Structure 1
Amino acid sequence: MSGIVLSSSVRQNLLSLQSTADLLATTQSRLSTGKSVNSALDNPTNFFTAQSLDNRASDINNLLDGIANGVQVLQAANTGITSLQKLIDSAKSIANQALQTTVGYSTKSNVSTTISGATAADLRGTTSFASSTALSNVLYSGAAGGTTAATATSLLGSAAQGSFTAAAAVKAADGSTNLAGTATLIGTAGAATLIGSSPSDGDTLTVNGHTITFRAGIAPTGTSIPSGSGVNSAGDSSILTDGNGNSTVYLGSTGTPVATVNDLLTAVDLASGVQTASISSTGVATIGAASGATLSSIAAGIATIKSSTGEDLSITGKADFLKALGLTSATGSGNATLNVTRNTASGSLGSLIQDGSTLNVDGHVITFKNAPVPGSTNAPAVPSGLGATGNVTTDGSGNSTVYLQAGTVADVLKAIDLASGVQTFTLNGSGGGTLATASGQINSSINASGQLKLSTGVNADLSVTGTGNALAVLGLAGNTGSATAFTAARASGVGGINGKTLTFTSFNGGTAVNVTFGDGTNGTVKTLDQLNTSLQANNLTATIDANGLLTVSATNDYASSTLGSTAAGGAIGGTLTSALTFSTASTPTQDAVAQTARANLVNQYNNILNQIDSTAQDSSFNGVNLLNGDQLKLVFDETAKSSLSITGVTYNSKGLGLASLTSGVDFIDNAATNKVLTNLNTASSTLRSEASALGSNLTIVQVRQDFNKNLINVLQTGSSNLTLADTNVEAANSQALSTRQSIAVSALSLANQSQQSVLQLLR
C-alpha cells in the first residue's frame, strides 16, 4: 500500500473523512451511553471525581438497609413497652380491687379498756357527777299582803272552793212556790214543778270545757249503755257520764219527766270536779263528792254553785235557761256565761296553777289536773300501769300527774325529782309503789324564803319547760316572768384519767404516740377526734362505745399485724396503763371469705406477670430484642465515624422490680397491697422513661435515615453533573457530522475525478 501515491487533495479529503468518522463515532457513543465522559481518556478529572462520588453513594446506600432494620427493632421495642404498660395497668387494677374489697380480717389486733363516764366528746370520763341545787324565784302564799313565803304544804289549788249564790229565790213556773232541787226540768204546762225555761232535746251547757247535753227520753240501761260510760246508780238514774266530766241528762217526756234540778247540779259538779264518777265494767256510775268538797245546791229557790279547789268555774249556756236557775240576769235565746273564781288564802299559793298546765323536766312530762288523786275517797281507782304517792300518780319512768284539788308544793317537788332521777318510784302493780331517794341525792325542797331548791340529779343537767302558767306560778319563768325555760347544770368532777399519759411505740414504721389526757389545750387530748389525730400517724385508730369502752386498733392498712409484736411494734405504755386495766393485745382474726377473694386476686396478678415475661421476650425484630438485654449499633456513614449505640434493657417482671405474689402473704391487708402498688407505679415510671428514650433514639435514627437518602441523591446528582452528556448537543453534533461526512465523501469523489481524466487519455 505504501507504493500507492495519493494526491494531496485526495489525501486531505480522506483525512477529513476519517476525522469526521471518529467524531461521529464519539457522538454516537455519548448518545448511546448518555455520558459525555465514559473513560478516563474522555476527561480524567471528571471521570475519577464522578467515580468517587458514585462509590460513596453506593457505600451509604448499603447502610440504609441496616438503618431500616434498626428502625424496626426500635419499633418492636416500643410496641413491647406499650403492651407492658397496659399489662402494668391491669396489675394496678387488680391491686386497687384488693384495696376496695372487704378487709381480710374480721377482727384487727386491738387493746381496750373501760373509762367510766367517758364519751367521744370527753375521753377523760368522770369520777362522779354531783347533784347541784338551783333556786327559783320567791313563792308567796295567798295570805293577806302577798308577802308571806309559801311552804311545802301550800296548796297548788285554792284553800277553799269558789262559790256563787243567786241574788234572789227563783220561783217555779206557777209562781206559787220556790224552786226546789227535786223540781223536774220539764213537766206538764202549769205544773208547780216546772222551771220557767225548760231545756229542749239537744241543748247543751259547757262547763270548764266539758259538755252537758240534754236528751229527751230516759237513760239507757244494760247493754245499751255506751262502752266507757255509766249511768248514775242513785236516784232516778237520769245521768249518763263518761267519768271525765262529760254528761248527758235525760229529761224524760212531757208526761213523765225524770231529770231534776239536782241532776243538773250533779252534772255541773261532775264537769267542774266537785264530784267524781267511778264507772264499773257493767256501766254503773258511782258518783260522790271529791274529798272535802261542798256540792252545788238549791234551797228555798236560791241556787249556790261551787267551783272545785282545782279550777275556776265557767258555765256557758242559753241565757233564758241560766236565768231560770237564777245564775244570770241575761235573757234571750243566746248564750250567757257564769264565772266562779277561786279565792287564794294563807293555805294556798298566791297564784294558782291552771288545770291542764304541764312541766317538761329532762324530757319527762308532769301534768296538772283538776281532780282528786285516784284512789282517794269517791275518786276512781288508780289506772293500770300507774302508782299513787301523795297527790301524784306516776308511771315509774319519770312521767307524773299532780292533782290540783289537794296537791301541794311538796307534790310538785316530788314529781320534779321523779323526772330528774333524784327520787325513784317502783310500782307494785296494785296502784301503789315504793318511793325512794336515789343514792347520794338530796330531795328538792322549799326554803324559808319561799324559794324552790331544785336538785339537778346526776343523770343530766336540769331543763324545765312548760305550758299554761305552771312555770310562772312556780317561780321558774325568770326575773321578768317571761322566760320559757329553766335550766341548771350538774356539778361534775374532773375526768378520771385527767393528766394520765398513753404511749405506743412505732407501729409498722409509724410515728410513736405519746399523748396526755386533759382539757384539749396545750397539746393535751380530750376528745376521740383529738386522740385519733395522734394515733393516725402511727397506723392506729380508736373507738369508744356507749359504755365507755375505749378500743385502740390497727388500721386497715396493717390489719394483719399484731400490736406489740416484735415484727410490727406498737407496744402500749404510759401512766394510763397503771390507772386502768388494758386487755392483752389480740391477734387479728382472718375473714375466710375475704381472704379467698384476695387469694384469687393474687392468682390474677401472677398471671399478669407471666404475660409481662412473655411480652418482653417476644418484642424482637430480626433477632434483636432491646427489651431482653440485646444491644443495637447503627452506622450512619461509610467511614463508621457516625454511629448510634443503643443499650437494651431487661424488662421482664423481675427486670421491672415485680415479683410473684404468695397467697396468705401478699394482698392480705392494705399495707401489703399498697407495697405492691408502689412497685407497680415504679415499674410504670420505668417503662415511661424507657419509652421516652426509645422514642428519642427512634427520632435520631429516622432523621439520619432521611439524611442519608438525601445525601445519596446529592452525591449521585453531582456525579451525573460531571459525566452526563447533553443529548440535545450530541444529537445536533450527530446531524452535523453526518452532513460533514456526506460532503467529505463528495469532495473525495471530486478529488478522484482528475485522476480518472488522465486515465481516459491513456486509453
Structure 2
Amino acid sequence: MADVVLSAAVRQNLLSLQSTADLLATTQNRLASGKKVNTALDNPTNFFTAAGLDSRASDINNLLDGIGNGVQILQAANTGITSLNKLIDTAKSIANQALQSNVGYSTKSNVAATIAGATPNDLRGTQTFASAIATSNVIYDGTAGGTSGVSLTDTLGGGIGSLVGTAVTKNVPTDATSTGAVLYTGTATATATGTDLISSLTNGSTTTPTGPQAGDVLVVDGKTITFTATGTPTVDSNGNYTIGVNQPINALLATVDTINGNTSNPSVVNSSGHLELHTGTNRALSVSDTSGGTVLAKLGFSAPVSTSLGTGASAPITASTKLFNTVGGLGAAIADGTTLTVNGKTITFKASDPPSPAGLLVGSGVLGNIVADSQGNSTIYLGTSNTFTNATVGDVLTSIDLASGVKSATISGGIATFTANGTASSISGAGVVTLNSSTGADLHVTGPADFLKSLNLTTSTGSGPTTLDVPRITGANTIGTLIDDGSILTVNGKTITFKNAPVPLASATHTGVSGHVETDGLGNSTVYLQGGTVADVLKAIDLATGVQTATLSQTGATLTTQLGSANSSLSSGSLKISTGSASDLTISGTGNAMLALGLAGNTGTSTVFQASRASGAGGVSGKTMTFTSFKGGSPVSVTFGDGTGGTVKTLAQLNAALAPNNLTAQVDANGVLMISASNDYASSTLGSVADGGVLGGSITSTLTFTTPNPPVADLNSQAARAKLVEQYNNVIAQITTTSQDASFNGVNLLNGDTLKLVFNETGKSTLTIVGTALTPAALGLPTLVAGTDFIDNAATNKTLAALNTASTTLRSQASSYGSNLSIVQIRQNFAKSLINVLQTGSANLTLADTNEEAANSQALSTRQSIAVSALSLANQSQQSVLQLLR
C-alpha cells in the first residue's frame, strides 16, 4: 500500500476512523461480556484483586455445608431432649398415681393408749374436780358503826324511807245560785212549777206559750241542749243533749245539772215560779244560747248565766281532792303533757277523759283515771270540765307507788288491778302528804317544782324540774350497802338479776319460785329485793354454778344439792361461795351488787371475783409425751393442757405438733389415742433402729402405750403399686432408645458424641460442642424394684424427686444446646453475608457499567458516521480530477 498516495486530509480522516473503530470494538466487547476487566491486560490490579476475593468467597461457601449439618445435629438433639422430657412427665404421672392410690398398708406402724373420756376436742380425758370455797370480803349490816357482819336473814333491800311534807289545805266550795224571772203557765196568774211542761211556759202577759220552741239551743259549760218537738233527754257521744218541749221543766233542769256535774244541790223551779240554777260544789256554771239571748229570755234570764262556786272555809286536802278544779281542788290545773319521772319510770298527765279498755294497747290496763302497764309506767287522765270523774291527788300517789314498786299492776283484758307490796304513800287527816320508798329501791321523783310544791313536798317554785330523793333505811336486819334495782351478777355465764318487786306467788306462769328467788331451771335467776335476803343470794349463786339444781313446778321450785358439793354459806360476815365441781368460779356484775356483797376488788382492783376448783384424779392434763426423731423428723415434746401457753388440748393441736416428726394421731370413741407413722412413711416401723421414733416422757406414768406395732401390708394395694413400678420401668427404658435415635449424619450429641464446626477458611474460628449421654443412669433414674419402690409415699416421693432432678438436667442440657444452636445459626448467617460482601467487592472491581458502555457505543457509532462523511469530503477533489479525465 506504500505505493498508494493519499492526501493529508484523507489520511487524517482515515486515522480518525480507525481509532473510532477500535474504541467501538472495545465498548461492544464490554457490553457482550458484562465486565470491564476480562484479562490481566485490561487492569492487572483489579483483575488479581477480584480473583482473590472470589477465591475467599468460594472457600467460605464450601464451609456452609458443614455449618448447616451442625444446625441439624443440634436440632436433632433438641428434638430428642423434648421427647425425653415427655417421657419424664409420663413417669411423674405414674409416680403421682402411686401417691393417689391406697397407701399400701392396712395398718401403719403405731403405738396406742387409752385415755378415758378423751375426745377430738379434748384429749385430756375425764378429770375429776372437787368443790372449793371462795371467800368474799366481810359484809357489814346497817348497825351504827359498821362493824357488825351480816346474817343470812338480813334483807337486801333495807327498810322503807319516807318523805313527809307539810299540811296542804284547799278551799271548800259552796253552792251558788242564779235566779231568773217569774215564769207562768196556762194563764197570766198561774206561776210555773217543776212538773209543768216546757211547752206550757208563758211570760204572764198572755196565755199563748212563750217558752222554748223546737230548734232553740242552750249552751251549758260548752255543751249544747237542743229543743225538739218531742222526746226525753238524749245525749250523744260528744256530751251534747236533745230534749223535747213536751218534757217537764224538771227534766231540763236535771240535764243542766248533769252537764255541770252538780249533785249536791239540784236546780229547781222555786215556789215563786223562778228558775234557780245551782252550781253545786264541783264547778262554776255557764249558760248561754246561740240566738243572742232570746232562748235565755224565754226561760226568764235577761243575760247569759255565769256563776262561780261559792268560797267556803279552808280544809285539809284528802286523797279524793281533785287535780282539775281551781276552786276546791289542789291548785292551778296541771298542763296537758306534764310528766313526773320516778325511779326511771314515767308518769304522764293528759287533759282528757280516760279511754275505754278496748282502746288500750296490749299490756296496758285502766283503773279509774289511771292507765298503767306492768313495768311501772302510767298515765293520769285529768278528766274534762264537763266530766265529774276528775283525777285526784290519790291517783298521783298511786302512780308514784306503781313506779317505785310499792304497788304493782296486773293487767287483764285492758283492766288494771293494783296490789300493795308495802307501805303505800298517803295523806294524813291533817292534809300532810307522805311519799314512801319501797324496800327494794330508793325513791327519786322528778317533776315541775310548782306541782311538787302544791303538795308541800318542796319549797322550790317554777316550771323547771325538781328532784325529791327518799333513800331507803338500813339497820341491824339489812346489809349495810343496799343492792340497787336492776343490778346484775354474772356467775359462770349465768345471770342473777336483782329486781325491786315482791316475789311472785308460785303458779303456772311462775314455776321456779323458791323463797325470794325465781329461777328458769337453766341456772339464771331473779332475786326479788322486797323481802330478799343474803341467803337468797347464796341460793341464786349455787343455782348458777350448778351446786344446786332446780325442778320447776306450779307449787314452786324444788332444789337439789349436787352430789359431793356443799352449799354456799356465810361465816363471820363473809360469803363462803362453793365453786362446785362443774367449772371454775367467775363472778362479774353491773350495778352495785358486787360491792354490796363484798365481791368487788377481791384481788387488787379487779372487778371480777374468781376461784378455781380443787383438782382431782384422772385425765392426762399436765402430762408430757415425747418422741425421738422418726425418719429424720424433728423430735416431739408435748404437754397436755388447756391449749394455751404451748400446751396441747385438741387432736388438731396434737397433729400439728407431731407433723414435723412424720407422725399423725387419731382418737376413737373409746378414748384410744393412736400415734402412727404418716402416710409418707407407711412402710417404716416406730422405734426401729433404722427409723427411730421411740416414745418417752412422764406420760408413761399415767398411760400404758403398746409396744410399737409394725406396719401391715395391704396385698391388693401393694399389687397395684407393683404394677405401677412395671409401667414406670417401661417408660424409663424408652429413655435409652430415644437418646440413641437422636442422631444426624452419624453424630448424636445425646449419646456423648462431639460436634466440631469450622467457621472460616483458615480453620482458626471453630466451635466444639461436647455431647452428654442422656441415659437413665446418667439422669439418676434407676430401674425400680417392686416391693421396695413405690411401697409408700416416702419411697414414691423419692422417685418423684429424682424425676424432678432429671427434668432439671434435661432443661439445663436443652438450654445449653439451644445456646450453641443460636451461635451456629448466627455464624451461618454471618458466613452467608460475608460471601455476599466478597462477591460484591469482586464485581465492583471487574464489572462494566452497562449504562455507561451503552452511551459510549452510541457516541462512537455517531462519531464513526461523521468520520465516514469527513473522509468522503476529503476525497471530493480527487473525484473532480477524475471527472476532468473523463
Superposition TM-score tier, normalisation by shorter sequence: 0.5 to 0.7
Q: Cα 1:334–1:459, aligned 2, differ >3 Å: closer, same or farther?
A: same
CA distances 1:719-750 after superposition (whole Å, capped 9, x unpaired): xxxxxxxxxxxxxxxxxxxxxxxxxxxxxxxx
CA distances 1:55-102 after superposition (whole Å, capped 9, x unpaired): xxxxxx9xx999989967973674256425643664587479769989
- Residue 569 (structure 2) pairs with residue 445 (structure 1): yes
Deviation at 1:611, TM superposition (A): 6.9
CA distances 1:212-256 after superposition (whole Å, capped 9, x unpaired): 112233333342221011223xxxx22211111001122222232
Aligned to 1:183: 321
Q: Cα 1:404–1:651, aligned 2, differ >3 Å: closer, same or farther?
A: same
Q: Secondary structure at the match of 1:310?
A: coil
- Residue 593 (structure 2) pairs with residue 463 (structure 1): no
Aligned to 1:261: 393
CA distances 1:256-277 after superposition (whole Å, capped 9, x unpaired): 2422222221111111100111
| Amino acid across the alignment from 1:220 | P
Aligned to 1:336: 466
| Amino acid across the alignment from 2:335 | S
Match for 1:204 among 339, 350, 353? 339
Deviation at 1:352, TM superposition (A): 0.5
Query: Map of 1:380-419 to 2, 5 A cutoff?
Result: 383=509, 387-419=512-544
| Amino acid across the alignment from 2:405 | G
Deviation at 1:418, TM superposition (A): 2.0
Q: Cα 1:366–1:498, aligned 2, differ >3 Å: closer, same or farther?
A: closer
Aligned to 1:316: 446
Q: Secondary structure at the match of 1:464?
A: strand
Aligned to 1:372: 502
Of 488-497 and 396-405, deviating more is 488-497
- Please tell me whether the aligned partners of residues 95 and 790 of structure 2 are also in contact (alpha carbons under 8 angstroms): no
Q: Secondary structure at the match of 1:338?
A: strand
Query: Map of 1:1-12 to 2, 5 A cutoff?
Result: none
Q: Cα 1:581–1:289, aligned 2, differ >3 Å: closer, same or farther?
A: farther
Match for 1:239 among 344, 361, 370? 370
- CA RMSD between the two structures: 5.5
Q: Secondary structure at the match of 1:83?
A: helix
Q: Secondary structure at the match of 2:530?
A: coil
Q: Secondary structure at the match of 2:502?
A: coil
Deviation at 1:405, TM superposition (A): 0.9
| Amino acid across the alignment from 1:274 | V
In structure 1, runs of 5+ residues without a counterpart are: 1-30, 33-60, 637-643, 707-763
In 1, distance between residues paired with 2:781 and 2:144?
A: 100
Deviation at 1:165, TM superposition (A): 1.9
Of 215-224 and 603-612, deviating more is 603-612
Aligned to 2:137: 137
- Please tell me whether the aligned partners of residues 563 and 569 of structure 1 are also in contact (alpha carbons under 8 angstroms): yes
TM-score, normalising length from structure 2?
0.57
Q: Secondary structure at the match of 2:163?
A: strand
Of 479-488 and 163-172, deviating more is 479-488
- Residue 495 (structure 2) pairs with residue 360 (structure 1): no
- Please tell me whether the aligned partners of residues 747 and 755 of structure 2 are also in contact (alpha carbons under 8 angstroms): no
Match for 2:675 among 545, 552, 556? 552
Deviation at 1:325, TM superposition (A): 2.0
In 1, distance between residues paired with 2:458 and 2:769?
A: 126
Aligned to 2:349: 214
- Please tell me whether the aligned partners of residues 91 and 731 of structure 2 are also in contact (alpha carbons under 8 angstroms): no
Match for 2:380 among 249, 258, 261? 249
In structure 2, runs of 5+ residues without a counterpart are: 1-39, 42-59, 174-312, 759-767, 829-886
Of 577-586 and 674-683, deviating more is 577-586
Of 93-102 and 666-675, deviating more is 93-102
In 2, distance between residues paired with 1:606 and 1:345?
A: 99
In 2, distance between residues paired with 1:183 and 1:598?
A: 105
Aligned to 2:46: none
CA distances 1:125-178 after superposition (whole Å, capped 9, x unpaired): 5632222222111101112222111011111111x2111222224335655221
- Residue 557 (structure 2) pairs with residue 433 (structure 1): yes
- Residue 415 (structure 2) pairs with residue 284 (structure 1): yes
Q: Secondary structure at the match of 1:171?
A: strand
Deviation at 1:394, TM superposition (A): 2.1
- Please tell me whether the aligned partners of residues 351 and 382 of structure 2 are also in contact (alpha carbons under 8 angstroms): yes
- Please tell me whether the aligned partners of residues 506 and 513 of structure 1 are also in contact (alpha carbons under 8 angstroms): yes
Q: Secondary structure at the match of 1:135?
A: strand
- Please tell me whether the aligned partners of residues 504 and 513 of structure 1 are also in contact (alpha carbons under 8 angstroms): yes
Aligned to 1:275: 407
Aligned to 2:115: 115
Deviation at 1:349, TM superposition (A): 0.5
- Please tell me whether the aligned partners of residues 382 and 388 of structure 1 are also in contact (alpha carbons under 8 angstroms): no
In 1, distance between residues paired with 2:592 and 2:608?
A: 12
Q: Secondary structure at the match of 1:349?
A: coil
User: What fraction of aligned residue pairs are identical, expressed as a percent?
Assistant: 49
| Amino acid across the alignment from 2:382 | L
Aligned to 2:31: none
- Please tell me whether the aligned partners of residues 624 and 640 of structure 2 are also in contact (alpha carbons under 8 angstroms): no
- Please tell me whether the aligned partners of residues 157 and 348 of structure 1 are also in contact (alpha carbons under 8 angstroms): yes
Deviation at 1:423, TM superposition (A): 2.1
- Please tell me whether the aligned partners of residues 162 and 343 of structure 1 are also in contact (alpha carbons under 8 angstroms): yes
Aligned to 2:303: none
Deviation at 1:412, TM superposition (A): 1.3
- Residue 423 (structure 2) pairs with residue 294 (structure 1): yes
Count residues in correspondence. 610
Q: Cα 1:602–1:288, aligned 2, differ >3 Å: closer, same or farther?
A: farther
Q: Cα 1:462–1:651, aligned 2, differ >3 Å: closer, same or farther?
A: same
TM-score, normalising length from structure 1?
0.65
| Amino acid across the alignment from 1:148 | S
| Amino acid across the alignment from 2:551 | T
Q: Cα 1:475–1:635, aligned 2, differ >3 Å: closer, same or farther?
A: closer
Q: Cα 1:180–1:97, aligned 2, differ >3 Å: closer, same or farther?
A: farther
- Please tell me whether the aligned partners of residues 275 and 288 of structure 1 are also in contact (alpha carbons under 8 angstroms): yes
Aligned to 2:359: 224
Which structure has more strand as a fraction of its residues?
2
Q: Cα 1:589–1:397, aligned 2, differ >3 Å: closer, same or farther?
A: farther
Query: Map of 1:498-513 to 2, 5 A cutoff?
Result: 509=631
| Amino acid across the alignment from 2:404 | S
Q: Secondary structure at the match of 1:477?
A: coil
- Please tell me whether the aligned partners of residues 750 and 773 of structure 2 are also in contact (alpha carbons under 8 angstroms): yes
In 2, distance between residues paired with 1:506 and 1:304?
A: 86
Deviation at 1:457, TM superposition (A): 2.5
In 1, distance between residues paired with 2:451 and 2:653?
A: 76
Q: Cα 1:106–1:148, aligned 2, differ >3 Å: closer, same or farther?
A: farther
Match for 2:610 among 474, 480, 487? 487
- Please tell me whether the aligned partners of residues 77 and 627 of structure 1 are also in contact (alpha carbons under 8 angstroms): no
Of 324-333 and 108-117, deviating more is 108-117
- Please tell me whether the aligned partners of residues 202 and 215 of structure 1 are also in contact (alpha carbons under 8 angstroms): yes
In 1, distance between residues paired with 2:336 and 2:670?
A: 65
Q: Secondary structure at the match of 1:165?
A: strand
Deviation at 1:398, TM superposition (A): 2.3
Deviation at 1:124, TM superposition (A): 5.0
Deviation at 1:413, TM superposition (A): 1.5
Q: Cα 1:165–1:673, aligned 2, differ >3 Å: closer, same or farther?
A: same
Q: Secondary structure at the match of 2:475?
A: coil
Aligned to 1:752: none
In 2, distance between residues paired with 1:481 and 1:340?
A: 34
Deviation at 1:118, TM superposition (A): 6.1
In 1, distance between residues paired with 2:79 and 2:91?
A: 18
- Please tell me whether the aligned partners of residues 631 and 648 of structure 1 are also in contact (alpha carbons under 8 angstroms): yes
Deviation at 1:392, TM superposition (A): 1.6
Q: Cα 1:302–1:511, aligned 2, differ >3 Å: closer, same or farther?
A: closer
In 1, distance between residues paired with 2:98 and 2:362?
A: 67
Q: Cα 1:201–1:143, aligned 2, differ >3 Å: closer, same or farther?
A: same
Deviation at 1:583, TM superposition (A): 13
Of 244-253 and 481-490, deviating more is 481-490
Q: Secondary structure at the match of 1:167?
A: strand
Deviation at 1:414, TM superposition (A): 1.7
